[in-house]
Amino acid sequence: MIVNGEERKLESPCTVSELVTSLGYRPELIAIELNGEILPKKEYASKALEDTDVMEIVMFMGGGSC
């Protein structure tokens, strides 16, 4: 599969939640685009990933000034 533009081999079947946690992300602080569509957070734990999936992980950041 492709994660943030990089090819990644899935060693075993896993869900979106399992993958992002293994990559060090906190699910409450990210948004996931899977195969061109935003994936609702309530589906992270149940959505099984496939070798052909394309995922973009966007992390929210605070700070800055106007």
Residue 66 lies in a domain: no
Q: Which pLDDT belongs to residue 25?
A: 94
- Confirm if 29 and 60 have CB atoms less than 8 A apart: yes
pLDDT at 63 over 80: no
Q: What is the pLDDT of residues 12-60, one digit of tens each?
A: 899 999 999 999 999 889 999 999 999 999 999 999 999 999 999 998 7
The count of structural domains within the chain is 1
Residue 9 included in any domain: yes
The answer to whether residue 64 is domain-embedded is: no
Indicate which CATH number applies to the domain containing 19. 3.10.20.30
| pLDDT at residue 1 in the model | 96
- Looking at residue 22, its pLDDT comes to 94
Please tell me the distance from the alpha carbon of residue 17 to that of residue 33, in angstroms, as a whole number.
13
Determine the structural domain holding residue 25 and report its residue range.
2-59
